[in-house]
Chain A
Amino acid sequence: MRPTRFKNPQAEDGQFQLRLIVAYGFMLLMFCLLIARFVWLQVYQYEHFSTLAQNNRISLLPILPNRGLIMDRNGVILAQNYSAYTLELVPSKMPDMNATIAELSKLVNITPRDEKLFKKLLGESKDFESIPLKVKLTEEEAARVAANAWRFPGVQVKARLFRDYPYKELTSHVLGYIGRINQKDQERLDDEDKGTNYKGTNYIGKTGLEAVYEDDLHGQVGFEEVETDSGGRAIRSLRRTPPVNGNNLKLALDIRLQEVADKLFGNRRGALVAIDPQTGGVLAFLSKPGFDPNLFIDGIDSQSWAALNNDWQKPMINRALRGTYPPGSTFKPFMAMAALETHSIGMHDVRPAPAFFTLPGSSHQFRDSNKNGNGSANLAKAIQVSSDTFFYKLAWDMGIDKIAPTVGQFGLGRPTGIDLDGEASGVLPTKEWKAKRFARYKEEFRRWYPADVVSIGIGQGFNSYTPLQMANGIATLANDGVAYKPHLVQEVVDARSGKSRLIAAKPDHVLPFKQENFEYVKAAMQSVLKPGGTAWRLGVGLPYTMAGKTGTAQVVAIKQGAKYNASALAEQYRDHSWFVAFAPVDKPRIAVAIIVENAGFGAAAAAPIARGLFDYYITGKVPGSISGDLKTVPLDTADDAAAASD
């Protein structure tokens, strides 16, 4: 309200001088305070800080948490830790590194590979970091180095935990592996503000569940502040915060079932995914061939890497997750659902199922797999005998706009959301998809032709799905449209409290389809295993109910008028053998999708694997052909295992 006292220059001057003095005094006072702080730090606390500085390298020791274990649904350990000695060097403490290594090699067997890996790590690390020269010393070697430690400044023998995957190839595409933290991992950790929690940690999950559940598995690093003498030995601990061990993962997967599947596959290539339709839990997840993940933990040597990489069977590719294949006739149950839901056909409508199908005004013959055709059939019989011409015509009548929306709801053509990284989405063909896919081509390639839909009707053409999507789709169908997100991990068990966190305990969504349509298609699939069905042999002596569908996916197109002759084709060009199935029919406990690459008819190669798998899962009976080879399944308790898996 009142004007500032500014009209009086004299008073104003006095006021200004006073303020200058106040400001100057304040500055001097603050500087004195600072000097006082310096005196405290540099005179009174000198001894303390001097000690800390001298032993700085080990004044704060991170204490590593134990990485969480991974076990199957019955508690069988799939990924574990074991303690072993490592020989580590701190370059900045060593007068002559090469001489030291030469001396050490007289005490310890240091291979050229060890040295190569060491040199590589040396380039990536800082001078004062402890770098392993040799991991997994024998007790004797460790003792020898320890006894001579005084001769080698900067050389340490440390006890460390190592990761081990006892089932090797069997779990490679599920668990993935951990590996040494590299520059890229470190940058990502720093970006996510997790760098602190990885102090002293050398390993991180690189692929598979090890990577996806990294945050759970890793735990919380602890630390210890220690005073040490000039030799680097800890004298006393000043303060200790214990680490929090990583959480354990309990999978839905049953390692015994996984092994049965693996043995039934033998040396053939392909993939198998088995899902519990009522929970979405993945019971078996196989991609053949696999690889030994233990090779990757400490950096794979170039020889093994080249062997894996150049193998024409591509063992590193996760076929179940990333392999996309035309589904062949295993697509037909989904087609049938689409036809019924869109009222494109009645349940009892009988239509011709001849030897070939031609489009109006065209001479191109879409042939049936049965060279004589199947006469005529209703929808159920067309599934049972797998009539192609019936489905060609059906697809032609429906058009893609009636097929894709229904089939898409079973999860085909998009990632299922399983707890693994890098899932392929496959292709559920639509007009929009084609326009986008061929956007850079001429209009004639982009346009949707009515004829495009014909081969899609039997699971060929642009159709392309992963075995995981097929298994998920069949599980959803088996469960009358109650869909779960497939998940490998069932529970995350807290290391401290022992409390479990359940993964995906509730249905993801429910398909809005009629129950009678589900019943109809499931019954038709059941008839596939009955006399007259394409997999009738599988149904012989079946002690439980089972439904399935065979499929044969073409790898190369066969010329008009020519005949498919497997023996005349190179192996890679032979057809893929598919089988999808679930059992028991009324209350499904297991649904499976199996593809055996280049193995011909679905009924011949893939279907018997499903029968063996289901026999073991439902009755506990190990198929006779493989019973001698199993190492995970104690035969006398096989029945208990089946009971425990409920």
Chain B
Amino acid sequence: MTLQPHLIKRLWLAIKAPLDGPLMLFLGLIFALSLVVLYSANNQGLDKIDNKLVYTLLSLTIMWLLARSRPQSIMNFAPPIYGIGVVLLLAVHFKGVTVNGSTRWLELGITRIQPSEIMKIALPMMLAWFFQKYELSMRWWHYLVAAVMIAIPCALVLKQPDLGTTMLIAASGFFVLFFVGLPWKVILGGMVAAGASMPVVWNMLHDYQRRRVMTMIDPMEDPLGAGYHIIQSMIAIGSGGPWGKGWLNGTQTHLDYIPERTTDFIFAVYSEEFGLVGNIVLVILYTLVLSRAMMITAGAQTLYGRAMAGAITLSFFVYAFVNMGMVAGILPVVGVPLPFVSYGGTATVTLFVGMGMLMSIGNARR
């Protein structure tokens, strides 16, 4: 009996050891805030809070396991994970479940998985592994091989069709290239080429994707149809004003005007109830997470560590920025959840896996 406090302390230390203090603090604050918003968004129902606690706990466990592993050991899993990811994407292509016209899911009997989600982590891992392996014998054509590695999953996900996820996967791959030293000339050249090819891409887009882009440019074009979501979420944000309407008092939220209000559009709920002040607080919290992640990236000892940590950090930024930008009407509507705030298990697991790898890389320099 007398030993108990001692045991608890030892256990606490063992759990704490691999975790990054500042990151945990900032994530904890964001998480607490997300529970507050979810309670309101779900019309004060507790069911989704319960679920969120369960899958967050599960994600934390995975994160902890990753954080206490050596980056080297995690890295070795890159090729098989990437391979499995590609196979699963192929399986989706041939045997996937079609919902609302896109084939993104794979039925596994007990559950459905979305292989494109795996790719968000698997692709940067694979690329970082690849550049680490050929670190000392790099030639220009290694970039070509890398480009193919990016192109394969992107093409498969684009076919589903899922433009949003394709861009996120492509971006995560690009971030690795960026941090392993893709020449600036190529980056700038690529940007110019991308700009020039816009008309071609436009022609390849599906009608609904074009509609979304047009909706972003002028939501009033179709206020009852495609523009409806964006107009309603902009009304929610704008009417929140500087100080917000107060917790549980968002009229847009509680009169059912905000679509997908516990998932992709949860930011509109937050923004309506907590106003500009709340938005700034959330952006600062995200900036703190990103700053800490940048510090870990800066201290990474290997090329793999730098590339992977950098890609995780920038991807995290992209999720946050794209989601808030979309809800605020400056980016087209793509299905990107708000990191650590939106309700949904799959995306949360991916995010915590990223954080676990980041911590693992951070621990390696100690």
Contacts and interface: CB of A to CB of B under 8 A. Distances in A.
B343 interface: no
Given A3-B140, A17-B298, A41-B328, A49 B256 contact: no
B235 A49 contact: yes
B66 interface: no
Contact of A2 (B140, B179, B235, B280): B140
A628 to B, nearest CB: 54
B321 interface: yes
B39 to A, nearest CB: 21
A196 B222 CA distance: 9
Contacts of A43: 241-242, 276
A421 interface: no
Interface in B247-290: 251-252, 255-257, 271, 275-276, 279-280, 283, 286-287, 290
Contacts of B297: 20
B238 A23 contact: no
B237 A49 contact: yes
Contacts of A20: 179, 294, 297-298, 310
Interface in A1-47: 1-6, 12, 15-17, 19-20, 23-24, 27-28, 30-31, 33-35, 37-39, 41-43, 45-46
Contacts of B328: 34, 37-38, 41
A31 B321 contact: yes
B22 interface: no
Contact of B178 (A4, A23, A92, A223): A23
A151 interface: no
Interface string B303-314: 000100010011
Contact of A41 (B140, B225, B234, B286): B234
B251 A42 contact: no
B161 to A, nearest CB: 16
A391 to B, nearest CB: 55
A130 interface: no
Given A38-B276, A42-B238, A60-B224, A128 B294 contact: no
Contacts of B287: 27-28, 31
B181 A30 contact: no
Nearest to B320: A31
Contact of B237 (A23, A38, A196): A38
Contact of A4 (B183, B256, B275, B291): B183
B206 interface: no
Contact of A30 (B235, B237, B321): B321
Contact of B241 (A16, A17, A46): A46
> Which of the four size classes fits the interface of chain A?
35 or more
Dominant secondary structure of chain B at its interface with chain A: helix
Interface in A210-238: 221, 223, 225
Interface stretch (A50-58, A71-79, A378-386, A503-511): A50-58
A116 interface: no
Chain A CB count within 10 A is highest, among B181, B234, B235, B279, for B235
Contact of B239 (A15, A53, A128): A53
B170 to A, nearest CB: 17
Contacts of A23: 178, 294, 310, 313-314
Contact of A53 (B139, B140, B235, B271): B235
Contacts of A19: 178-179, 181, 310
Contacts of B321: 27, 30-31, 34
A33 B317 CA distance: 14
B239 A35 contact: no
Contact of A16 (B135, B275, B306): B306
Interface string A614-638: 0000000000000000000000000
Contact of B181 (A16, A45, A46): A16
B138 interface: yes
B324 A34 contact: yes
Contacts of A24: 290-291, 294
A315 interface: no
A501 interface: no
Contacts of A12: 181
A196 B241 CA distance: 30
A587 interface: no
A318 B223 CA distance: 42
Nearest to A49: B238
A35 B140 contact: no
Interface in B132-183: 135-136, 138-140, 178-179, 181, 183
Contact of A31 (B178, B252, B286): B286
A514 interface: no
A199 B224 contact: yes
B251 A6 contact: no
Given A27-B290, A34-B324, A48 B238 contact: yes
Contacts of B275: 42
A64 to B, nearest CB: 12
A172 to B, nearest CB: 34
Nearest to A59: B235
Contact of A52 (B140, B239, B276, B324): B239
A436 interface: no
Counting chain A CB atoms within 10 Å of each CB, the highest count among B238, B255, B324 belongs to B238
A62 B224 contact: yes
Nearest to A1: B140
B220 interface: yes
A239 interface: yes
A48 B70 CA distance: 54
B294 A46 contact: no
Nearest to A238: B220
A499 interface: no
A49 B251 CA distance: 12
A514 B112 CA distance: 63
B264 to A, nearest CB: 16
A126 interface: yes
A126 B256 contact: yes
A44 B350 CA distance: 37
A46 to B, nearest CB: 5
B191 interface: no
A49 B236 CA distance: 8
Contacts of A53: 235-236, 238-239, 251-252
A2 B142 CA distance: 12
Output the residue of A5, A50, A126 with the most chain B CB within 10 A. A50
Minimum-distance CB pairs A-B, first 7: A49-B238, A53-B239, A196-B225, A41-B238, A42-B276, A49-B239, A50-B239
25 contacts: A3-B138, A17-B298, A19-B181, A20-B297, A23-B178, A23-B314, A24-B290, A27-B287, A27-B317, A37-B328, A41-B234, A42-B241, A42-B276, A43-B241, A45-B238, A46-B239, A46-B242, A49-B238, A52-B235, A52-B238, A53-B239, A54-B239, A56-B257, A196-B222, A199-B224
Given A38-B271, A46-B242, A49-B238, 5 more contacts: A4-B139, A24-B291, A34-B330, A49-B234, A52-B235
